[in-house]
Structure 1
Amino acid sequence: KNEITFKKEGELTLFRSKDSVIQTLDIEIADNDYERETGLMYRHSMQEKQGMLFVFKESKPRYFYMKNTNIPLDLIYLDDNYKIVSFQKNAKPNDETTLPSHANAKYVLEINAGLADQWTLKVGDSISY
């Protein structure tokens, strides 16, 4: 299978709850069924300051898994106010175990595993894109 290359579709900024910028990322946006189902499958790497933002129509509990995903990831679940509600850190490549949000989420940001801790992201931090 051909490598799927990253396609920058926007920029996303992570903010501390007190409005200081944590990090700015280039993002791909998954906002239709096909893109949300495919996500980062079949890719073999992603740059540190790249990520994929999943955009859903409504806020509800989300369940992700790592089927056909070759990159270890941190999953960041966000509510309809763009605030972090929960994490699933260090999701293992190709693991089909369910990774629940444990909260209502409208957005899910996937970044390379370890970055959520490296950037000390916390529940209540937010994004804009």
Structure 2
Amino acid sequence: MILRTAVLFVMLAGSAVAQACREDTVHLRGDWGEARFSVEIADDRSERARGLMHRESMPAAAGMLFIYPQPQSLSFWMRNTLIPLDMLFIDPGGVVQHIHHRAVPLDETPIPGGNGLTHVLEINGGMAEALGITVSSQVRHPSFDPSVAAWSC
């Protein structure tokens, strides 16, 4: 029941707000519908290394967006991360290329996302499946170059 309520909140938040691009907001869309997440940005080495470590909880409609300056092969792990996470690996055009569902807290096993990636969106574990977010979903955020973005600001 709690996850169902959280999913409804995330989906309503996606449709109820103006679709303006903001640094602290990520929009997603696909055949499944639309959603919006309030995000913290990790765009330098220190912020990316810290990520969501040591947090005991995260609001349902929240997440962290990791931004890399150049397309590259990305792999994450869950060292010192206390909550299960879904990891959405995203290409320079803002298209989800891979989803790792329910990463296990504290697990140091590498989680490869693929090649040619510039962004990773971490959200609460189980949220991607509950919303129906799939590979090929589009992501909108001001950090995507509008000349290549599938869904630009």
Q: Report if TM-score (shorter chain) is over 0.5.
A: yes
TM (norm. structure 1) is: 0.88
Q: What is the 5 A alignment of 1:103-114?
A: 103-114=115-126
Instruction: Structure 2: give runs of 5+ residues left out of the alignment.
Output: 1-22, 142-153
Deviation at 1:126?
1.0
Residue type of the alignment partner of 1:16:
G
Question: Aligned residue for 2:95?
Answer: 83
2:47 to 23, 30, 35: 35
The structural deviation recorded for 1:103 is: 3.4
- Percent sequence identity over aligned pairs: 34
Which secondary structure does the structure 1 equivalent of 2:121 belong to? strand
CA RMSD of aligned residues (A): 1.3
- C-alpha displacement at 1:12, in angstroms? 0.9
Q: What is the CA distance between 1:22 and its match in structure 2? A: 1.4
The aligned counterpart of 2:127 is 115
Structure with more strand by fraction:
1
Count residues in correspondence: 119
Larger radius of gyration: 2
Runs of 4+ in structure 1 deviating by more than 6 angstroms, as ranges, are none
| TM-score for the superposition, normalised by structure 2 | 0.74
Q: Which amino acid aligns with 2:27?
A: T
TM-superposed CA distance for 1:61, in Å, is 1.3
Q: For 2:99 and 2:71, how far apart are their aligned partners in 1?
A: 16
* SS of aligned partner of 1:37: helix
Q: Which runs of 5+ in 1 are unaligned?
A: 1-8
After TM superposition, list the pairs within 5 Å mapping 1:1-129 onto structure 2. Answer: 10-16=24-30, 22-129=34-141
How far 1:46 moved relative to its partner?
0.2
Deviations 1:60-107 (A, max 9, x none): 111100000001000000000010000111100000000001332110
Q: Which has a greater percent of helix?
A: 2
CA contact (8 A) 1:79 1:105 kept: yes
